[in-house]
């Protein structure tokens, strides 16, 4: 079989510079841009910059920027499988070997969008960076060089849409660039241009991208009829929330083709919805499910008791604490449940259980606090999930830092709940309920204890 290659030039205009060639951006952003080109005639090409000294750029260029994307999951209760060749990437750039090619992108008047996913650690400021030592620079420092080239060329600014999973990712990226500009003496006019002529958006991205299908790639290539080293796989669900001037949506009009992309004045409530419902449901459910002998999320969704326990937590205890319209929250929760049931993904409970103490503080505890504040009562399922967490940490399966694992395994319930370093506050007020939950787990077993909570 021949390698996947273009039969003719793409004819696309490079409108997007993308930092990152990994599975997520290719299975999320590039899929959207490809659909926008094919269904709305946007004609936007994506030049991809390799953010690390080693990466997939040689492989991407070998295939002329092409790769297959396989989407699979449930949609309205039915299995859906979609395969397409993504054609929007025009070239890959290794800026470590070809710095001039990278900086020349700044002089392209058609270039309008900067998109990135350089991991949570990618957006950082390091004092003492040398602009002449490209290989040592952080991502924001390398971007500062590009933006200075743009400024010196007298061209308009960019719309920057970072996808890194940190709070206020756009604001943080801008802050880093302004610090580097000051360090390197780029002057007030450049700083003013960065502030006024560029649009830094804060974002929320949501799609499970499972990446290269190692177990059945050869099978898939045989079905496709070509070789493809960059096959990507992902779930059907997708959501991109972008905090920025809504007029900018017209420049990259995903709404015209019905994609789940939302421009908003404030991304905060959508982040809270995701953390509290999706991540919170994972954390409040998986430890009890693992104690009940289950191994993957899909098994938990097929287990009537565990499923009922999780639904009680989501619909009766988490959703009432959130600010968005109830119908939106219910729809999102139903989407989450459908995603958890995805027959194509084997999401291990033990993987989700990693570092559960810190996850519980961020994902579940705020819902407990808000529920008590709003109703004057404790949320039974969420509080029981804390008892299940303690019971799980007493087993040999818990994975966390050495200090946390040792403490949680040997400390008393009172000492655990009063450990403000872990929870951000003293949780002793939950003591009676947590102890009752642990007693039920010890004496009745996890399933009978969960059943009591579901029936309450």
Contact 187, 196 (CB under 8 A): no
Can you give the pTM of this predicted structure?
Answer: 0.90
At the top level of CATH, which class does the domain 268-455 belong to? mainly alpha
Which residue, 430, 367, 360, is CA-closest to 389? Answer: 360
* Tokens at 129, concatenated: 């960076």
Determine the length of the chain: 456
pLDDT of residue 119: 79
d(CA 142, CA 3) in angstroms, rounded, equals 33
Q: What is the pLDDT of residues 45-66, one digit of tens each?
A: 999 999 999 999 999 999 999 9
How far are the Cα atoms of 60, 64, 82 from residue 5, in angstroms, in the given order? 10, 6, 20
pLDDT band at 28 (very low <50, low <70, confident <90, very high): very high
- Segment 386-391 mean pLDDT: 98
Residue labelled with tokens 């946007």: 42
Share of the chain above pLDDT 70, in %: 100
Q: State pLDDT tens for residues 87-132.
A: 999 999 999 999 999 999 999 999 999 999 997 789 999 999 999 9
What average pLDDT score do residues 257-263 get? 97
Q: So what's the pLDDT on residue 21?
A: 97
What pLDDT is recorded for position 8? 93
pLDDT in tens, 131-155: 999 999 999 999 999 999 999 999 9
DSSP 373-433: HHHSS--HHHHHHHHHHHHHHTSS---S-HHHHHHHHHS-HHHHHT-HHHHSS--GGGHHH
Do the domains spanning 13-264 and 268-455 agree at the CATH topology level? no
> How many CB atoms are closer than 10 A to CB 440?
19
Report the pLDDT value the prediction gives residue 350, as an integer from 0 to 100: 95
CATH tag, 13-264? 3.40.50.720
Number of helices (H) and strands (E) in the chain: give both, helices first. Answer: 22, 12
> 443 vs 434, 439, 440, CA distance in Å?
14, 6, 5
Q: Where are the domains of the chain?
A: 13-264, 268-455
Encode 208-227: b = buried (16+ Cβ within 10 Å), e = exposed. bbbeebeeebeeebeebeeb
Average pLDDT, the chain: 96
Q: List residues bridging with 353 in a β-sheet.
A: none
Question: Nearest to residue 426, comparing CAs of 411, 412, 440, 416?
Answer: 416
State how far Cα 230 lies from the chain centre.
21
């Amino acid at each position: 079989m021949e390698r996947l290659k273009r039969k003719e030039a793409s004819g696309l205009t490079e409108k997007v510079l993308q930092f990152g060639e990994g599975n997520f951006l290719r299975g999320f952003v590039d899929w959207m841009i490809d659909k926008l080109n094919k269904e709305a005639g946007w004609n936007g090409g994506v030049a991809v910059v390799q953010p690390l000294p080693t990466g997939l750029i040689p492989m991407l260029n070998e295939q002329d920027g092409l790769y297959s994307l396989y989407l699979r999951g449930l949609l309205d209760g039915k299995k859906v499988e979609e395969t397409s060749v993504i054609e929007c990437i025009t070239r890959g750039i290794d800026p470590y070997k070809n710095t001039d090619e990278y900086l020349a992108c700044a002089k392209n008047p058609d270039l309008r969008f900067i998109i990135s996913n350089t991991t949570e650690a990618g957006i950082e400021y390091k004092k003492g960076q040398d602009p002449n030592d490209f290989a040592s620079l952080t991502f924001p420092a390398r971007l500062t060089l590009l933006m200075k080239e743009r400024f010196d060329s007298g061209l308009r600014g960019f719309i920057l849409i970072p996808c890194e999973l940190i709070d206020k990712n756009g604001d943080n990226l801008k802050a880093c660039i302004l610090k580097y500009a000051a360090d390197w003496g780029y002057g007030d006019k450049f700083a003013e241009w960065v502030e006024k002529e560029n649009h830094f958006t804060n974002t929320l991205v949501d799609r499970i991208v499972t990446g290269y299908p190692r177990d059945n790639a050869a099978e898939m290539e045989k079905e496709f009829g070509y070789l493809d080293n960059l096959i990507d796989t992902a779930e059907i669900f997708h959501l991109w929330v972008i905090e920025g001037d809504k007029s900018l949506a017209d420049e990259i009009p995903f709404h015209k083709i019905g994609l789940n992309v939302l421009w908003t004045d404030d991304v905060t409530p959508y982040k809270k919805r995701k953390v509290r419902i999706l991540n919170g449901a994972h954390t409040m459910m998986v430890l009890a499910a693992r104690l009940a002998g289950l191994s993957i999320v899909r098994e938990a969704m097929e287990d009537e008791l565990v499923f009922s326990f999780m639904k009680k937590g989501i619909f009766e205890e988490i959703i009432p604490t959130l600010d968005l319209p109830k119908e939106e929250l219910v729809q999102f929760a139903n989407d989450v449940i459908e995603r958890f049931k995805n027959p194509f993904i084997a999401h291990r409970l033990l993987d989700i259980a990693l570092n559960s103490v810190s996850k519980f503080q961020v994902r579940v505890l705020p819902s407990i606090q808000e529920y008590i504040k709003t109703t004057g009562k404790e949320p039974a399922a969420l509080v029981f999930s804390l008892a299940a967490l303690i019971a799980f940490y007493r087993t040999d399966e818990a994975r966390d830092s050495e200090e946390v694992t040792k403490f949680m395994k040997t400390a008393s319930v009172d000492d655990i709940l009063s450990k403000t370093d872990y929870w951000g506050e003293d949780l002793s007020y939950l003591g009676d309920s947590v102890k009752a939950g642990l007693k039920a787990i010890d004496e009745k077993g996890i399933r009978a204890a969960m059943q009591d909570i579901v029936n309450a």
